[in-house]
Structure 1
């Protein structure tokens, strides 16, 4: 509608200018007919011509002034529409469209001028569970509060955005990663300390953060992926934390916190994560259903089979209860490293399986890396002793006419190959049962 109005206005202005030009032409032609030998007649003719020119110019000026006012009004309307189209209505932050444009522009600027650029991506922890517990209206109020807090703690040159759902991003121009890490920790602490009041409740949330700095090998997609990998590392480390990506792997921001295992007592809490995982039978049933769905929708699906290397050594070094608590911590890390649509199950004492819908072998590699990095960055501590853990992982991708046994069997075969020289003695497999 605005475009049509501008087009009509331009036509009116063009018509007014055309009419003015015609009048000027008529006046010019009249001047050419004056008898220059008759001084008195010539003078009267000039005065009459000038009078017509003044009147015509005044009329054109008035019409142009009105057109200018209309154009200014249309410009304000266009600006408002553009602002609304680039602003998230709930939080008042820049939306995904504005984020994409700004990040693209800043990446080009950083590559062209050799300036620093960092990206922060953050996710509100356990937001789905929060919505299920308190309701979506409370969730919206929390999102608004987080948006306000981001505006408050981010610098003027930064662009805080609502990236989507409960995820936010901050484009940080002229910012090396060391400064970005400081900013990320400032954001994390600010969200952790804020309280959102809603219907008599005082609601609190925390956030996980990933940070990456632009390098010349990056494009916007790669930069976002690296920041996102760091975000997943933060989630895998237990959430309410920040990680940064150096181009190869993710590292914790600030002091790394060890996962401390309680000493063996009668009051030790149950291994809640392990006890909640599906067993081999339920895993096979769910995988069979997922395979049928993947075949019907022609979507890929990948399976991981992961073994906790050195689990027996942990049992020998400490005790069965401590080893079981370590397994529960590993299961928690695995679950936090996955999407909601993924499924992790426990096949046997120290072996886990993961269903990754929509993943190929190539994309499953990123998940394997996240799992390994999560264990590396979050060592277990028991009675002032650190327990080094390593997850050995095999993977497979769905092929035409695959059964559950065939798909899992290839993942387990790949797992066997990962153990050095095949000397390991992995536990009983799904296919063996």
Structure 2
């Protein structure tokens, strides 16, 4: 077993302290008899023991101050740096995990997170026999916005709609941008009228948004498709039903909710 430098120095310091104690004990053990007999040679031996004790004590102090303490200090500093590095890596890992499931433009969850959450919700709500609904929203004529006013304006439209969705949903609802101009809401523990009402409130709120671009103020509308989970179907089938209702809302003239 190899010993670290600090451990070797520690053992060396212990030996020095032990020798100091031994010589001090030897000197004082004989001091009474030495003084009583008043023998010069013995008194000289006391001085030698005392001198050696002082030397070893001094060496122990020097070793402790200039060798052992710096080793301990550097070791503690290295441990502190390792802790900071670990904390930094942990924070970075959390940031990367967050980035992996988040849409960078809007701050909403992305399609990957939405799919995972949908499957987990269905599994959990199947066990407790609670309802869950899905709302799919699509911005009307969004390509025209990008083509006419540029992608910067289009990005601002997406951000404002994302903020509106976040304002109108509950903390346990899952709001995601699925891609392009399509958004989705998973809303657990709601009935059909509550789900439709949520979709229509969101549609109305988005319709009241004003996105300014130069001297022009854009009015944005969305179409929405709503589907309530039947308690047995898969997430993919639920999504297809909501998507079919979204298509119907588009077919009927947009800016409406179909369920």
- TM, length-normalised to structure 2: 0.70
2:86 corresponds, among 49, 57, 71, to 71
The equivalent residue for 1:178 is 193
Q: Is the 8 A contact 2:101 2:113 kept in 1?
A: yes
Q: Is the 8 A contact 1:188 1:240 kept in 2?
A: yes
The equivalent residue for 2:45 is none
The equivalent residue for 1:212 is 227
The equivalent residue for 1:83 is 98
Deviation at 1:204, TM superposition (A): 0.8
Report SS of the residue matched to 1:91. coil
Deviation at 1:53, TM superposition (A): 8.3
Cα RMSD between the aligned structures?
Answer: 3.7
1:121 aligns with 2:156: no
1:151 aligns with 2:166: yes
Deviation at 1:25, TM superposition (A): 8.4
| Cα separation, partners in 2 of 1:55 and 1:140, compared to 1, 3 Å | closer
Please give the residue correspondences for 1:51-66 in structure 2 after superposition, counting only pairs within 5 Å.
58-66=73-81
1:225 aligns with 2:212: no
| Residue-by-residue CA offset, 1:332-372 (whole Å, 9 max, x unaligned) | xxxxxxxxxxxxxxxxxxxxxxxxxxxxxxxxxxxxxxxxx
Higher helix share: 2
Report SS of the residue matched to 1:191. helix
The equivalent residue for 1:421 is none
| Cα separation, partners in 2 of 1:29 and 1:182, compared to 1, 3 Å | farther
Please give the residue correspondences for 1:252-263 in structure 2 after superposition, counting only pairs within 5 Å.
none
Structure 2 residue runs without a partner (length 5+): 26-55
Report SS of the residue matched to 1:92. coil
| Cα separation, partners in 2 of 1:213 and 1:53, compared to 1, 3 Å | farther
1:197 aligns with 2:218: no
The equivalent residue for 1:109 is 124
| Cα separation, partners in 2 of 1:57 and 1:122, compared to 1, 3 Å | same
Separation of aligned partners in 2, 1:219 and 1:28? 69
Separation of aligned partners in 1, 2:104 and 2:241? 28
Using CA pairs under 8 Å that are at least 6 residues apart, name the structure with larger relative contact order, 1 or 2. 2
Q: Is the 8 A contact 1:121 1:228 kept in 2?
A: yes
The equivalent residue for 1:360 is none
The equivalent residue for 1:379 is none
Separation of aligned partners in 2, 1:215 and 1:53? 72
| Residue-by-residue CA offset, 1:232-280 (whole Å, 9 max, x unaligned) | 2222232211122xxxxxxxxxxxxxxxxxxxxxxxxxxxxxxxxxxxx
Deviation at 1:228, TM superposition (A): 1.0
Report SS of the residue matched to 1:108. helix
The equivalent residue for 2:176 is 161
Structure 1 residue runs without a partner (length 5+): 1-17, 245-433
Deviation at 1:121, TM superposition (A): 0.7
Q: Is the 8 A contact 2:149 2:213 kept in 1?
A: no
Q: Is the 8 A contact 1:118 1:212 kept in 2?
A: yes
Separation of aligned partners in 1, 2:204 and 2:253? 15
| Cα separation, partners in 2 of 1:66 and 1:132, compared to 1, 3 Å | closer
